[in-house]
Chains A and B, each alone.
Chain A
Amino acid sequence: MNAIPEELKYTQTHEWVRVEGNEVIIGITHHAQELLGDMVYVELPETGSCFSIEEDCAVVESVKAASDIYAPLDGEIIAVNDNLADSPELINQSPYEEGWLIRMKITATEQLDNLLDANTYQDVIASEDSK
């Protein structure tokens, strides 16, 4: 079992969120990349574009399938991980660090309270595995 970083927050749909003041960095979890398999293409939003919570804001594609990434919070895209264009496999190799997807400036900080902590996210994975 791969460790779920304690300092991050999570969504039911397997995104992780690193909070840095009123900005967040978003990626997909180790569990998500393992389910999807080898990444081959990533479609990221344009800097400056705005998304609402749960809106699809990016697409990651593995050999197997395309998968939508949902904005975990309301906000504006202030940066995307350009390295993924040539090396989408970074998501597999380093999902919590080099494989990050987008950086957002968030507009509704109270939404942070609804994100899952590491323990709760662990339970989400466990309940999926037992299905």
Chain B
Amino acid sequence: MGKRTALYDLHLQSKAKIIDFGGWDMPLHYGSQVNEHHQIRQHTGIFDVSHMTIIDLRGEQVSPFLRYLLANDIAKLKQSGKALYSCMLNHQGGIIDDLIVYYISPQWFRLVVNASTREKDLAWIQQQASPYTLTVTERPELAMLAIQGSQVRQHITSLFPNNTDTIIALGKFFAHIEGDYFIARTGYTGEEGFEVICSAEQAKSLWHTALQSDIKPCGLGARDTLRLEAGMNLYGSDMDENTLPWESALGWTVALQDQNRDFIGKTALLAAKEKGISQRLVGLVLLDKGVLRNHQKVFTSSGEGEITSGSFSPTLAYSIAFARIPAGNEQHCEVEIRNRRLRAKIISPPFVRNGAACIDITT
């Protein structure tokens, strides 16, 4: 038996198919992964993502510490509640994890990191924080729900009756905080939505409210195809400790504007850039019939690569993937599936945003 979230029994009530996910017993789907995917693109759904790791950093030196710890620069965060996506790098420039950091006050930031990387992240953060005046506190008692979908804004009144106006006015990538109730306009689906961090009791209540409002429970299966369509990386598949942000389509998250800022991995990154980046992470669309899967071989005129995340896209009704391939400017490649080479088009993700396709495969 794995770890269970506060909502485990509610998942069983909704007939969840439970799988092991990084040591957690989590819902894969509640009947049909594809229907749940469409539910988010066309309506609204709710995910239990309480397995995610929430870490609060508090103290006088939180700000200088995070400017050193993270490759993106938290100095960009000027307003309370504002969020920033960043990589946390090792000294070689490899990615330890990707995360969202929220600026709550000058002496309080919150990190949301992956579940599968919890132990190593906490150990790394604690180790790096030791010279600084601050405390590192994991918040395992808090639950986390993601309410996402093209129609989610219609549900704000019923979901958040006590602060409806505030949530309606909440900007993208901002969080509203009231005590332990934390509502952020963020997500991992490519649709509008909120991620709510709160107590177990509050989460159960919100889950019930959502289901009564015809918001459907959605599992990790749909979450994966949604994020792939939305062009969002998955840690451990699309990038890891041996890949640089620039080899992972995450160069945009590396903040080099402030030349005086040192951060972990910076020296290695600059040296690598000087030498030249030899790989790139791209999107693939399969032009022939079949399904792209992780680890299938990719052939380009610049050499071989590999699919890092591949699946069928329910929205587009053909197969899509991310692949790491040699640097170059090819627009087509071949993928080996069961000893056959199939044709694929190389594109720049996302594939789908806000319910609509953003690629054209006719050219």
Q: Write the residues of chain A forming the contact surface with B, with a CB cutoff of 8 angstroms.
A: 37-38, 40-41, 43, 59, 61, 63-66, 85
Chain B residues positioned under 8 Å from A37 (CB to CB): 29, 32-33, 221
B308 CB within 8 Å of chain A:
no
- By the criterion CB–CB under 8 Å, are B338 and A59 in contact? yes
> B289 interface residue, CB < 8 Å from A?
yes
Which A residues are CB-close (under 8 A) to B293?
65-66
Q: What residues of chain A lie closer than 8 Å to B319, measured between beta carbons?
A: 41
The answer to whether A66 and B291 have CB atoms under 8 Å apart is: yes
Write the chain B residue with the least CB distance to A89: B34
Q: Is the CB of B312 within 8 A of A61?
A: yes
Closest to B19 in A: A64
Residue of A nearest to B225 (CB): A63
Task: Flag whether B236 is at the interface (Cβ < 8 A).
Answer: no
- Interface set of B (CB-CB < 8 Å, partner A): 29, 32-35, 221, 225, 289-291, 293, 311-312, 314, 319, 338
A32 to B279 CA separation, bound complex (whole angstroms): 39
Q: How far does the Cβ of A37 sit from chain B's closest Cβ, in whole Å? A: 6
Q: Tell me the interface secondary structure of chain B in the complex.
A: mixed
Complex contacts, B35 vs chain A, CB 8 Å: 38
Contact of A63 among B289, B290, B314, B338 (CB under 8 A): B314
A43–B340 Cα distance when bound, in Å, is: 13
Cα distance A38–B219 when bound, in Å? Answer: 14
Distance in angstroms between the alpha carbons of A43 and B342 in the assembled complex: 14
Which residues from B are CB-within-8-Å of A43?
A: 289-290, 338
Min distance, Cβ A72 to any Cβ of chain B, angstroms: 21
Contact of A41 with B29 in the complex, beta carbons under 8 Å? no
CA distance A64 to B19 in the complex (A): 12
* B291–A40 CB distance below 8 A: yes
Interchain CB contact under 8 A, B312 and A41: yes
| CB–CB A64/B289 < 8 A | no
Q: Which residues of A contact B221 (CB under 8 A)?
A: 37, 63-64
Q: Which residues of B contact A40 (CB under 8 A)?
A: 34, 291, 312
Task: Report the bound CA distance from A64 to B228 in whole Å.
Answer: 13
A64 to B32, CA, bound (A): 11
Residues of B contacting A66 in the complex (Cβ-Cβ under 8 angstroms): 291, 293
User: Which residues of A have CB within 8 Å of B311?
Assistant: 63
Contact status of A64 and B33, CB under 8 A, knowing A37-B221, A41-B312, A59-B338:
yes
Docked Cα-Cα span, A29 to B94, in Å, equals: 45
Which of B33, B34, B225, B290 is in CB contact (< 8 Å) with A41? B290
B32 touches A38 (CB 8 A): yes
The reply to whether A41 and B291 contact each other, CB–CB distance below 8 Å, is yes
Q: A75 to nearest B CB, angstroms?
A: 22
Which B residues touch A63, using CB under 8 A?
33-34, 221, 225, 311-312, 314
Contact, CB under 8 Å: B34 / A38:
yes
Give CA–CA (A37, B225) in the complex, Å.
14
5 more A-B residue pairs beyond the given contacts A38-B34, A40-B291, with a C-beta to C-beta distance below 8 A: A40-B312, A61-B291, A63-B33, A63-B225, A63-B312
Complex A-B: 26 CB contacts under 8 Å: A37-B29, A37-B32, A37-B33, A37-B221, A38-B32, A38-B33, A40-B34, A40-B291, A41-B290, A41-B291, A41-B312, A43-B289, A43-B290, A43-B338, A59-B338, A61-B290, A61-B291, A61-B312, A63-B34, A63-B221, A63-B225, A63-B312, A63-B314, A64-B33, A65-B293, A66-B293
Measured CB to CB, the nearest residue on chain A to B312 is: A40
Closest 5 CB pairs between A and B?
A: A40-B312, A38-B34, A61-B291, A41-B291, A63-B33
Q: How far is the CA of A61 from the CA of B338 in the complex (A)?
A: 13
- Bound form: Cα–Cα A85–B317 in Å: 12
Q: How far is the CB of B296 from chain A (nearest CB, A)?
A: 10
The CA of A85 and the CA of B32, in the complex, are separated in Å by 20
| Residues of chain B lying within 8 A (CB to CB) of residue A59 | 338
A85 to B289, CA, bound (A): 9
Residue of B nearest to A34 (CB): B17
Listed residue (B293, B312, B338) with the most chain A CB atoms within 10 angstroms of its CB: B312
A41–B314 touching, CB < 8 Å: no
* Nearest CB in chain A to that of B338: its residue: A59
- Chain B CB count within 10 A is highest, among A59, A63, A65, A85, for A63
Residues of A within 8 A of B314 (CB): 63
